[in-house]
Amino acid sequence: KQEVTQIPAALSVPEGENLVLNCSFTDSAIYNLQWFRQDPGKGLTSLLLIQSSQREQTSGRLNASLDKSSGRSTLYIAASQPGDSATYLCAVRPHGGSQGNLIFGKGTKLSVKP
Amino acid sequence: DTGVSQDPRHKITKRGQNVTFRCDPISEHNRLYWYRQTLGQGPEFLTYFQNEAQLEKSRLLSDRFSAERPKGSFSTLEIQRTEQGDSAMYLCASSLVSHPQYFGPGTRLTVL
């Protein structure tokens, strides 16, 4: 059974710092991995999607990497801003079997202090 | 196109009542998903449709839950005889096949 773990559960940093969020998954047979942002009481906003054949994806100050063989992904946020404060969720889409659902971690709650 | 929409955004009900939620996907998306999220947890998959066909249901979807997508466009999720344990955020997402899922704002259900 695929399980997704995110470490740390919470992180507080001063504005301007670079930071890394970690995601690990137990089964390397994935179709893709997706990082989401969730603001309190709101839905999810997709940040980056990495296909299983890719190593990384970049969007602005965000860079996500994928090491499928070791079951790990990282989300790197450069020059953090208070507006980056949110919960960041990692989700994998399993390869084979169910083609529909995403399996999520519990998220990392990020707080960026001015 | 304004993305995935869900209605209502908040619902408070008493235990034992039935509730129904609606999701309107992005218009050209043929896949529609329902997830449930409780406080401090990531979303958990409930079910998904491709067009009007319900292709998969999670074991989380008990007999009290039913979802429909009658014309392959909007979907409804009904919970019968609600229990306090049903209190959660219910999220809808849509996508094209093999493309990223786009999520709606969710419906927060509180069962008293």
Chain B interface includes A103 (CB < 8 A): yes
Q: What is the DSSP letter of B85?
A: G
Q: pLDDT of A70-80, one tens digit each? A: 999 999 999 99
Q: pLDDT class for B60, splitting at 50, 70, 90?
A: confident
* Site of tokens 């208070």: A82
Rounded to the nearest angstrom, the minimum Cα separation between A35 and chain B is 11
Q: Which of A50-54, A79-83, B58-62 has the lowest mean pLDDT?
A: B58-62
Two tokens, residue B74: 């909007």
Nearest to B100 among A34, A43, A106 (CB): A34
Contact check, Cβ <8 Å, A106/B40: yes
CB atoms within 10 A of CB A20: 11
Kindly tell me if the per-residue pLDDT of A61 is higher than 80.
Answer: yes
> Chain B contacts of A34, Cβ < 8 Å?
100-101
> Chain B contacts of A41, Cβ < 8 Å?
89, 108
Interface test with B, best of A102, A103, A108, A109 (most B CBs within 10 A): A102
What pLDDT, on a 0 to 100 scale, did the predictor assign at position B11? Answer: 97
Whole-number Å distance between alpha carbons of B93 and B84? 24
A–B interface: beta-carbon pairs under 8 A: 57
Residues of chain B numbered 30-69 and touching chain A (CB < 8 Å): 31, 33, 35, 40-45, 48, 50, 55-56, 58
Contact check, Cβ <8 Å, A101/B55: no
**Torsion on CA atoms A4, A9, A10, A16, rounded to nearest 10:** -40
CA A2 vs CA A25, A30, A91, A103: distances in Å: 7, 9, 11, 8
Q: pLDDT class for A1, splitting at 50, 70, 90?
A: confident
Reduced to 3 states (helix: H, G, I; strand: E, B; else coil), residue B5 is strand
Q: pLDDT of A82-103, one tens digit each? A: 999 999 999 999 876 555 689 9
Residues in chain A: 114
Say which residues have a Cβ less than 8 Å from residue B99's Cβ, sequence separation at least 6.
none
> Chain A contacts of B93, Cβ < 8 Å?
44
> Chain A contacts of B101, Cβ < 8 Å?
34, 46, 102
Two tokens, residue A7: 């470490």
**Nearest-5° angle of CA A79, CA A81, CA A84?**
110
End-to-end CA gap in chain B: 36
Say which residues have a Cβ less than 8 Å from residue A113's Cβ, sequence separation at least 6.
A12, A13, A14, A15, A82
